[in-house]
Structure 1
Amino acid sequence: MPVGKREKIVAREPGQFAVRIGGAAGQVIEWYDFTIYGYFAVYLSAQFFPAKNDVASLLATFAGLLSTFISRPLGAVVIGHFADRLGRRRILAVTVFGASGAVAIIGVLPPASSIGAAAPVLVVLCRLVQGVFAGGEVPAAGSLVLEHSAHGRRAFSASWVQVGATAGSILALLVATLLSSTLSHDLMGSWGWRIPFLIAAPLGAVGWFVRSRLTETPQFRKIEEEGAVARAPIVELLTNKEHLGRMLRLLGIFLCGSFFAFYVFLTYAPTYLISHTRIGTGSTFLSALIAQCFMMCVIPLSGRLADRVGRRPVLFAAQVLFMIMAVPAFLLMGRGTFGFVLLAQLAIVIPIGLHQAVQLPVMLELLPTRVRVSGGGLAFAIASALFGGTAPIFAVWLVGRTGTGTSVAIAVVVAAAISFAATALTPETGRRELAS
């Protein structure tokens, strides 16, 4: 084959569908992991974090989840550096393997009854490694999709990365529902809980295959050809007051829908239902599965809406809905019947879906191509560590102190009000061209 012809084939741009699937692949794994960890927290607490009482054991288990978020800023700096220096596609092939491997290893770890204190330490180490890869995964995947997209369809295209996150949660819920309906509680506690973690390994292989067929983005190739690639992206970010101001506003926007409310309703709520109501494990998983399927439809529709009316109106709508619906949602879940729980979850995933659809466009459109992954990743990682990983722990503690889930709902309302104020201070990004 002539060299010129070969180069032309290699340089051929992938279709938008392939780009969206490639961007979403890592999020499928990441959110599969988070959902599995949250839904199997009761079993993990007994295996790896035994304590004097159930509340202390659950707190320790969710502290293990928090370690994932603690290492995210490190991942954002390291992986963001290479994504802004070498390109989005190359680094994304690495992150999908690292994240899936860290999850799968948990499935083969011996319990505390066998190796004592080493068991929780090993779980935390796996979570830290997963957090490093996740810290750079989200902004790199979002940048890949965003920079391949047409101007008027950026939010819709980027929303598919978050669709991947929801798909990962749905896959986890399907696995959880299947296992809980076929295995007894004792079998789940002894070995059944390992199965969903081991499934992460083949998921990683599929994700790598999809991403290996993509090309580098036009935006990155442009700055590469112009010699405008940043030598030290993180240094440029931290020494630029304008970039720092934008990242601070992003922290406020991410507070509610992207992290605190998200983790309260989608990670902590199942534990709350199993521990404080009589709905049962199977019904809890099934109601969450239906709600997440609904949310997966809400996200791309919200992305399309954001391309039409702008990012800010969609964010405002999400934050207002959180303030209105958080308390009624927890009151309905407290009734402990399948119908009320499902109704509450269907209602609350609407503002979550609205927020999820526009968080990546807002985060990445605010920053130029040369520091986009590093800046977006650092803001996202810090917000996730402060507001996301702490949410289940805070919720367990708050319910333990007050005895009611309503107290957690009030905290969501406060978080939504802060996010509303941060959104009001952030300029509209949807009508701008991407800066180099």
Structure 2
Amino acid sequence: MPTSRTDTSATTRVPRQLTVRLGGAAGQVIEWYDFTIYGYFAVFLAPQFFPAHSEVAGLLATFVGLLSTFVTRPLGAVVVGHFADRLGRRRILAVTIFGASLSAAVIGLLPSASSIGVAASVLVVLCRLTQGIFTGGEVPAAGSLVLEHAPARHRAFSASWVQVGAAAGSILALLVATLLSTVLPHDALAAWGWRIPFLIAAPLGAVGWFVRARLTETPEFTKLAAHGEVVRAPIVELVTSPRHLGQILRLLGVFLCGSFFAFYIFLTYVPTYLLGHAHLGERATFASALLAQCFMICVIPLAGRLADRVGRRPVLFAAQALFVVLSVPVFLLMGLGTFGFVLLAQLVIVIPIGLHQAVQIPIMLELLPTRVRVSGGGLAFGIASALFGGTAPIFAVWLVGRTGTGTSVAIAVVVAALISMAATLVTAETGRRELEA
């Protein structure tokens, strides 16, 4: 049932595209700064919050803490998506960036398990659960904001900036990690230095909120509100529509590989693999990842430009095919344990990751109408991230523990890529469509 009770303030001026893109990217900077810090400092977090009888058990427990963020993402997608589709994208995005940054910063203040016992583990998990709620609808809401402001011929390029924000957040985290590992001895880093990067999330959130405060509501949503066509219960329309449910199922298949499983394997688990199995060393591990992320931040917008020219599906197919071809050689190179080979491997694998990231948001949101765009995109994104993203590092730790080799993880990435290729085959091209109301 439609209603016209919607905030349409701050819509009289047209924002610059750069401002919109930066505003959309701001939340991803916070989110991926936090995820990267958590992944790269997992070896320090494990004894602090998840002490166990073995290193593998401690790491598994630590990555379960990371997984808890993904468990609440579908719930966050429903809640954030509801308000973004009811009240507008602009208003809800100011809330999500505040909550996400605060949830990350609190981890830096928590007492360790040696002080308060199991309560420390519980508090970390609660912080991750809270962040999952705030970030569950962040990507589709920010993506919708950018996409609905963008000229039709530049939608993929504009939306790719949201994922540029993710890469920028990872780069910032790696810079912080590299700096800390350089200036602090290992013992100090393990004892208290790991807290510093989490605390930095608070001022980052304040900067992001300031950028988003300058944004305006999107033309697409404003038009919908002006016609009194805003839906009272977006999630109800989604789950009662066979068409929308079909699109969400297709998106789950498309997201399986490059958007989540391969992404989290190569960007979240690999540092742990390099430190624990390739014995590369902290500084070299952080430095190689930093250079690879800097390269990826260039790949994503270029891939967005390409997707505006040739369509979304060709770029997706190219990314998935590269995962099939490159995953095993990349893990073999990293297993050699030298900085040059590890850097080469990471530079190579971020090419398909960047291609996939560039078209993830356009194909996710262009498939859905404006009235349920954030809710539907968030539901697909939240479920896929919970099933395929948060579980990926845990699965990788377990698999390498059983097999003793990273090649087994690479084969799993190949299988995931083949499934994603099949899903892409049955997903419509959206690049030349007008956005549906």
Asked if these proteins are the same fold (TM beyond 0.5), I'd say yes
Match of 1:100 in 2: 101
1:215 aligned counterpart, secondary structure: coil
For residue 10 of structure 1, report the CA deviation from its aligned partner.
6.4
1:243-282 aligned within 5 A: 243-282=244-283
Q: Does 1:400 align with 2:401?
A: yes
**Whole-angstrom CA distance in 2 between matches of 1:204 and 1:296:** 21
Unpaired runs of 5+ residues, structure 1, are 1-6
**Whole-angstrom CA distance in 2 between matches of 1:9 and 1:207:** 18
Q: Deviations over 1:383-419 (max 9, x none)?
A: 0000000000000000000000000000000000000
**Whole-angstrom CA distance in 2 between matches of 1:98 and 1:201:** 10
Match of 1:17 in 2: 18
Instruction: State the one-letter code of the partner of 1:226.
Output: H
**Whole-angstrom CA distance in 1 between matches of 2:42 and 2:280:** 17
Q: Does 1:112 align with 2:117?
A: no
1:43-82 aligned within 5 A: 43-82=44-83
For residue 279 of structure 1, report the CA deviation from its aligned partner.
1.3
**Whole-angstrom CA distance in 2 between matches of 1:334 and 1:129:** 36
**Whole-angstrom CA distance in 1 between matches of 2:230 and 2:39:** 40
Residues 102 and 205 in structure 2, CA contact (< 8 A), matched pair in contact too? yes
**Whole-angstrom CA distance in 2 between matches of 1:332 and 1:85:** 49
Closer, same or farther: CA 237–8 of 1 in aligned 2, 3 Å? closer
Count of aligned residue pairs for this structure pair = 430
For residue 8 of structure 1, report the CA deviation from its aligned partner.
11
Residues 65 and 124 in structure 2, CA contact (< 8 A), matched pair in contact too? yes
Instruction: State the one-letter code of the partner of 1:321.
Output: L
**Whole-angstrom CA distance in 1 between matches of 2:158 and 2:360:** 12
Q: Does 1:177 align with 2:178?
A: yes
Residues 300 and 355 in structure 2, CA contact (< 8 A), matched pair in contact too? yes
Q: Deviations over 1:306-335 (max 9, x none)?
A: 000000000000000000000000000000
**Whole-angstrom CA distance in 2 between matches of 1:213 and 1:11:** 13
Closer, same or farther: CA 215–116 of 1 in aligned 2, 3 Å? same
**Whole-angstrom CA distance in 1 between matches of 2:12 and 2:31:** 29
Match of 2:37 in 1: 36
Moved runs in structure 1, 4+ residues, more than 4 A? Answer: 7-10
Match of 1:4 in 2: none
Q: Does 1:329 align with 2:301?
A: no
**Whole-angstrom CA distance in 2 between matches of 1:164 and 1:9:** 24
Match of 1:434 in 2: 435
Residues 11 and 217 in structure 2, CA contact (< 8 A), matched pair in contact too? no
Instruction: State the one-letter code of the partner of 1:135.
Output: G
Q: Does 1:239 align with 2:240?
A: yes
Q: Deviations over 1:312-360 (max 9, x none)?
A: 0000000000000000000000000000000000000000000000000
1:404 aligned counterpart, secondary structure: coil
Match of 1:296 in 2: 297
2:137 aligned counterpart, secondary structure: helix
**Whole-angstrom CA distance in 2 between matches of 1:9 and 1:151:** 23
Match of 1:216 in 2: 217
**Whole-angstrom CA distance in 2 between matches of 1:212 and 1:99:** 16
**Whole-angstrom CA distance in 1 between matches of 2:350 and 2:11:** 41
For residue 277 of structure 1, report the CA deviation from its aligned partner.
1.6
For residue 9 of structure 1, report the CA deviation from its aligned partner.
8.6
**Whole-angstrom CA distance in 1 between matches of 2:270 and 2:27:** 24
For residue 143 of structure 1, report the CA deviation from its aligned partner.
0.1
Match of 1:157 in 2: 158
Closer, same or farther: CA 8–144 of 1 in aligned 2, 3 Å? closer
**Whole-angstrom CA distance in 1 between matches of 2:91 and 2:14:** 16
1:408 aligned counterpart, secondary structure: helix
Instruction: State the one-letter code of the partner of 1:82.
Output: F
**Whole-angstrom CA distance in 2 between matches of 1:186 and 1:50:** 17
**Whole-angstrom CA distance in 2 between matches of 1:424 and 1:170:** 33
**Whole-angstrom CA distance in 1 between matches of 2:39 and 2:45:** 9
**Whole-angstrom CA distance in 1 between matches of 2:318 and 2:123:** 42
For residue 126 of structure 1, report the CA deviation from its aligned partner.
0.1
Match of 2:410 in 1: 409
Match of 1:3 in 2: none
Residues 11 and 218 in structure 2, CA contact (< 8 A), matched pair in contact too? no
Instruction: State the one-letter code of the partner of 1:371.
Output: V
2:436 aligned counterpart, secondary structure: coil
Residues 288 and 342 in structure 2, CA contact (< 8 A), matched pair in contact too? yes
Q: Does 1:364 align with 2:378?
A: no
How much is the aligned-residue C-alpha RMSD, in angstroms? Answer: 1.0
Closer, same or farther: CA 375–182 of 1 in aligned 2, 3 Å? same
**Whole-angstrom CA distance in 2 between matches of 1:17 and 1:283:** 34
For residue 278 of structure 1, report the CA deviation from its aligned partner.
2.4
1:396 aligned counterpart, secondary structure: helix
Q: Deviations over 1:49-100 (max 9, x none)?
A: 0000000000000000000000000000001000000000000000000000
Instruction: State the one-letter code of the partner of 2:88.
Output: G
Identity between Structure 1 and Structure 2 (%): 78
**Whole-angstrom CA distance in 1 between matches of 2:370 and 2:428:** 18
